[in-house]
A and B are shown apart, each in its own frame.
Chain A
Amino acid sequence: MSSEWPLWEVFIRGQHGLHHRHVGSLHAPDAEMAICNARDVYTRRNEGVSIWVVKSSDITASSPSEKGPLFEPSNAKVYRHPTFFEIPSEVGHM
């Protein structure tokens, strides 16, 4: 059996109140070690207050070839943006 450690994706919350953000990946034998390694690899300069690790093999990603079917439909729905509607200035801030 291969002894190569599995790959983990690392997400870090930079400050309280922000989302966790993907920062990169690393190898580790298990989740606990992945957190330890992520601490050393990605937060040597106070970059975070919280770490998530997820096995890369557990991530399902959309494929670049689906870009059209996935995202184009929303382009046609301009009324989803507030700027689509014109509100008379007499009405005031809305």
Chain B
Amino acid sequence: MYAQMVKAEGAKAREEMSEQERAFQDRIDRGEKIEPKDWMPEGYRKTLIRQIGQHAHSEIVGQLPEGNWITRAPTLERKAILLAKVQDEAGHGLYLYSAAETLGVSRDELLAALHGGRMKYSSIFNYPTLTWADIGMVGWLVDGAAIMNQVQLQKTSYGPYSRAMIRICKEESFHQRQGYDILMKMCLQGTPEQKAMAQDAMNRFWYPALMMFGPPDRDSVHSAQSMQWKIKINTNDELRQKFVDQTVPQAEYLGLTIPDPKLKWNDAKGGYDFSEPDWTEFFEVIAGNGPCNTERMEARITAWEDGAWFRKGLMAHARKRDARRAAARLAAE
């Protein structure tokens, strides 16, 4: 979901596997974690780099829509909380980049791929945050969907990825709660205008939040192999269903209406029936044509380029000082 449509190589039947591949699959089936220096099929490595990389990019780009409101948060306390949350997202990005780097790709390569459009980030961050209620909605729905995905990923087969997920999950529930807290204030204690603002945010974010889990299982061509390798534990549709079931009562508590006339409890399946998002829109946003794709990438690239002199400067300083220290040591001997 933070990693949507990650391309994976096709799943192999046991008979088609080499002896090494079979031994690898056995380790995964036994629930063993794969560690950086262990042998792994090239497809496993590549798929993981794509998935963890996309996940990391999503955390970093995800700072932008929220950063938009740091200077305009309604109180000093809300501002401090939002700052802490956005800082967490940076941290989550860093844990994930480190995990990806253990697979033999460099940080600079990952960033160059993002900036060059060769790697993606979650579609959700290409929607604008127009009002303060959007910040509540992002915390509640977007982070809620993220948690739904990340909880299962704690059990993923690649050790460094799993450990990053465990760390992230520990920190993430504060994010969702702070969003819900913003909305409780607006919906339960706010003016009719504030409540209308929250409903408007709900109307705009509901379907993009459902899209975060990726295309429906019937079209999800990469899932089989990823699930065989336990890179992915649940299917897109399973997670989406869980998310809807969890979210509906929370919306009811706020008195918000989910913008789906077909939403209805289904006793037989023990979950809600609901409308699918507009998949054409999803594919458009992924292809770069969402409302904020250009703006997000421009902000990223500008930040990266504007910081180049600083990164270089610190490196030059470190090298000079190392050389000076080495010379001093030599002189003392």
Decide if B107 touches A44 in the complex (CB within 8 Å).
Answer: no
**Which residues of B lie under 8 Å from residue A64 when comparing CB positions?**
35, 37-39
Q: In the bound complex, what is the Cα–Cα distance between A33 and B313 (angstroms)?
A: 13
A33: contacting residue among B91, B95, B163, B314, CB under 8 A: B314
Interface residue B315 (Cβ < 8 Å from any Cβ of A): yes
Q: Is B321 an interface residue (CB 8 A)?
A: yes
Mark out the residues of chain A between 1 and 59 whose CB falls within 8 Å of any chain B CB in the assembled complex: 2-5, 7, 24-27, 29-30, 33, 40-41, 44-45
With a cutoff of 8 Å between Cβ atoms, the chain B residues found around residue A78 in the complex are none
CA distance A88 to B163 in the complex (A): 45
| Contact residue among B39, B171, B318 (Cβ-Cβ distance under 8 Å from A45) | B171
A26 touches B37 (CB 8 A): no
A61 close to chain B: CB less than 8 A: yes
- CA–CA, A61 and B38, complex, Å: 12
What is the 8 Å Cβ interface bit string for chain B, positions 71-98, against chain A (1 contact, 0 not)?
A: 0000000000000100110010011001
Q: Which residues of A contact B118 (CB under 8 A)?
A: none
Does A63 touch B at the CB level, under 8 Å? yes
B21 sits at the interface (CB 8 A): no
Complex Cα–Cα for A24 and B163 (A): 9
Q: How far is the CB of B222 from chain A (nearest CB, A)?
A: 28
> Is A41 a contact of B91 with CB atoms below 8 Å?
yes
Residues A3 and B312 in contact, CB atoms below 8 Å apart: yes
Q: Is residue B19 within 8 Å, beta carbon to beta carbon, of the partner chain?
A: no
In the complex, chain B residues whose CB is within 8 Å of the CB of A4: 106-108
Taken residue by residue from 307 to 326, chain B's Cβ proximity to chain A (1 for < 8 Å, 0 otherwise) reads as 01001101101100110000
> Is B101 engaged at the interface, CB distance under 8 Å to the other chain?
yes
On whether the beta carbons of B37 and A61 are closer than 8 Å, the reply is yes
Chain A: CB-nearest residue to B93: A41
- Total interface residues on B, using CB and 8 Å? 28
Q: Which residues of A contact B35 (CB under 8 A)?
A: 64
Q: Which A residues lie within 8 Å of B101 (CB)? A: 7, 25
Q: Give CA–CA (A49, B95) in the complex, Å.
A: 20
Is the pair A44, B98 in contact by a Cβ cutoff of 8 Å? no
- A4-B107, A64-B39 given as contacts; is B318 within 8 A of A29 (CB)? yes
**Could you say which residues of chain A place their CB within 8 Å of the CB of B106?**
4
Give the complex CA separation of A73 and B311 in angstroms.
Answer: 48
Contact A26 B94 (CB under 8 A): yes
| A residues less than 8 Å from B95 (CB atoms) | 24, 41
Contact A63 B94 (CB under 8 A): no
Expressed in whole angstroms, the Cα–Cα distance for A30 and B311 within the complex equals: 11
Of A24, A29, A40, A44, the residue contacting B315 (CB under 8 A) is: A29
From residue 273 to 329 of chain B, which have CB atoms closer than 8 A to chain A?
308, 311-312, 314-315, 317-318, 321-322
Residues on the A chain within 8 Å of B39, using CB: 64
How far, in Å, is A71 (CB) from chain B's closest CB? 15
Contact A29 B317 (CB under 8 A): yes
Assess the A44–B38 pair: CB atoms within 8 A: no
Enumerate chain B residues within 8 angstroms of A2, measured Cβ to Cβ.
108
* Alpha-carbon distance A45/B308, docked complex (angstroms): 30
With A24-B98, A29-B314, A33-B314 already in contact, 10 other A-B pairs whose C-beta atoms are closer than 8 Å: A3-B311, A3-B312, A3-B315, A25-B98, A26-B94, A26-B98, A30-B321, A33-B318, A41-B91, A44-B91
Enumerate chain B interface residues (CB-CB to A < 8 A).
35, 37-39, 84, 87-88, 91, 94-95, 98, 101, 106-108, 163-164, 167, 171, 308, 311-312, 314-315, 317-318, 321-322
Give 10 CB contacts A-B under 8 Å: A7-B101, A24-B167, A29-B317, A29-B318, A30-B317, A30-B321, A33-B314, A40-B91, A44-B88, A64-B38
Residues of A whose CB lies within 8 Å of any CB of B are 2-5, 7, 24-27, 29-30, 33, 40-41, 44-45, 61, 63-64
- 10 A-B pairs closest in CB distance: A30-B318, A29-B314, A29-B318, A3-B312, A25-B98, A29-B315, A4-B108, A3-B315, A64-B38, A41-B91
